[in-house]
Structure 1
Amino acid sequence: MRDQEPAPMDAERRLSTREAAELLGVKPETVYAYVSRGQLSSRRVSGGRGSTFDAGEVEALARRNRRDSSGGSGPSGSGSDSSGGGHSGGELSVRTRLTLIESDRYFFRGVDAVELATRHTYEEVAEWLWTGRMLPGSTFTAPAAFVSVARRAVEALPEHAAPADLLRVATVAAATADPLRFDLSEDAVLGTARTLIPTLVAALPPRGHAHRDEGPMAHRLWTRLSMRDPDEASLRALDAALALLVDHDLAASTLAVRVAASARAHPYAAVSAGLGVIEGPLHGAASGLAHRLLQDVLEQGDAAPVIADELRAGRRVPGLGHRLYRGEDPRARALFALLERIPRAEPALLAARDIVETTARHAPLHANVDLALAVLTVSCGMPPTAGETIFAVARTAGWIAHALEEYGERPLRMRPSGLYAGPRPPQPLPE
């Protein structure tokens, strides 16, 4: 729950030193320390010995101090979506009808997201998020011209390029092939969504000789992630992972998308903004860290020495904890249940359980969706970067849903005010 903010004060009102100290929750001498550091300005009382302070300036400093001090509160975690707008004491909140996270559950347009993801395909869940209508049998088709230009752009990249690099370049290339990309009407944006996602998947280099560019999105994506022939249970797990990851409120990348959409950037540019954010190890790339951790545990046969190395190096154990869930991440729970139906996933599932139980001796953290993704990618012969690819493709649908929502709001509303903390002017010109 967010801290209660004091009511705005009259901008003309001046506070005494005692009043400023009480509002800031500090001693009077600390108020003057703020002045000496340039964080507050003061004015001498006419005919008196004390100083007065601008009420609005003091209130802004108090608000900033509360925000800074609340950064470590709540359950710890380093999951893909551990950053969320409006959930960690910040000032920015955005009204949305898309996703609600509450009581260790999450909902898409009021419907339990786990139930949607386990009963419907990724495409159907995406359509539900975009339109609020369930369209059974939904499929996405990529225009040949879009796929051609996106593939050429991706093929020009170095071999070591990361998944987010490939997808970002493919997105920009697809945009150049769409002369109607600046049409921000709902129908046009939905058309973009239904062609961009399959274009991105088709632009990814196949892992084996055979690849699919038709059928369910999970089947097409599989041939870009694994050289193995998939079984039905593995494809169902991949499809559910995509659907579970479609959206997760205002994660960092989603906020970037909404800022771009607020400036009326077209959908391709908005998606590109999201792709630029997910590369961080605290967001989309977190599953790759969990993948490598899981591989280490499988190689050593015991989680204890691997966890000890992580803690000795001062690192958080990847795949555990989430600041939005006090209990188990519901996405992880749903994906683990599907993975239990895949016989070859048993060793990775046991290793994941060993990681959770071993770490519980140090901190009571539950598995998050990154650890579940790691079990999927390790057991299906996928590279460490596969989880990031799954996350990015899945989240593209959610980003477009948020862009659609933002296009219906007042332009440029995503413009927070900076709380200046530098030296108070006027300062002398530098030498």
Structure 2
Amino acid sequence: MTNSLKVAIAGLGTVGVGVVKILESHKDLIAARCGRPIEIVAVSASNRARDRGVDISGYQWFDNALDFAEQDNIDLVVELIGGSDGIAKELAQQSLEAGKSFVTANKALIAHHGASLATTAQEAGVALRYEAAVAGGIPIIKAVGEGLAANKMNLIYGILNGTCNYILTQMESTGQGFGDVLAEAQRLGYAEADPTFDVDGIDTAHKLAILSSVAFGTETDFNSIYVEGIRRIEAVDIEYAREIGYRIKLLGLARLGSNGLEQRVHPAMVKLEEPIAQVEDAFNAVVAEGDFIDRTFYQGRGAGEGPTASAVVADIIDIARGHMDAPFFVPASELVKAEPVPMDDHEGAFYIRLHVQERPGVIADITSVLKDRNVSLDVMLQKGHELDGSVYVILVTHVTRENIIMGALQEIAGLSSVQDEPLTIRIENL
């Protein structure tokens, strides 16, 4: 058997500990599968004395992970620190420049700096891998970049954040509001104390930026993604969606067309019979469409020690086998800088929830605004007589343009009878 691949791990949180467990407990199995041993030789974390439930005494300890780049006995660096910049970015850059392959679960790092790091890796002749950065235990990067490589990809979309999917699932099953379900998710450990990245769609956008690049051979372009979270979804929206045959999911969707690259993250209504509508709790799912394979569907756990660590170790094994593919499956110099498609150009049907005072002429005022902008309605419901004399008006439009519906809603919001900012949810007939 050839020489071992010597690995250093930066970050010994939940995922880092999971990587140690897999590499140690499956040492012989992994060596047999990749033709050489994989050996952890060094680790770094913020607190050396902390009890992590694994024995790290046999590894060299570094207070500063950046020192990994200077060590001759390290072949590969695993970064599990997080963050798009700071030490994570420095460690990636310095490790690659020093000729060490680099594996990360850091979606923010790859979403913001993927193209430049890919260039550095290729110039140094080493590997950059990030399977664990998207959809946890689902091997979606390899599936799209390798398994579907014969196809011209048309569309990729999915549920990419388990926290949001858990919250939406619980809102539907319990009838509780967003705030109550979020608090319970935090108590159970499904949501962070600061849930901003999850519930505001940023985490999903990081992952979508990466998927877009893998699917379409484009430069990662996080800043061009339209991002909207789930904070404004209420129990009534879940209920009304089901009544008209839909379920609400936070989707990330990317499509490359003749007019450029469309990338958007937002709550969406999907038909109940769609497979992605059946994905519940903290699971992730991705749908990829290509010209010869039509549609493929992937589902699995998107986070947690086991699934994420499994994806990290799979990347390490690939590198141990000698796989040095281009990070985005085309040479870094050939990644295309795609023109972003403005969100105003989006066309589709829309669900609209209005909270209005129940008085004569309210519906006429609303429909007059829509008529003036040539927006036609498929569904109109009036719900929930309240003690204060207000009601919900639910509208579902036929297909129209984003800029038209948003202009109409801005005008409707100014009507004296409208109490709150209108809510709109895009309907995706996938």
The two structures have a TM-score, normalised by structure 2, of: 0.25
Higher strand residue share: 2
Identify which of structures 1 and 2 has the higher relative contact order when contacts are C-alpha pairs closer than 8 Å and 6+ apart: 1
Higher helix residue share: 1
The two structures have a TM-score, normalised by structure 1, of: 0.25
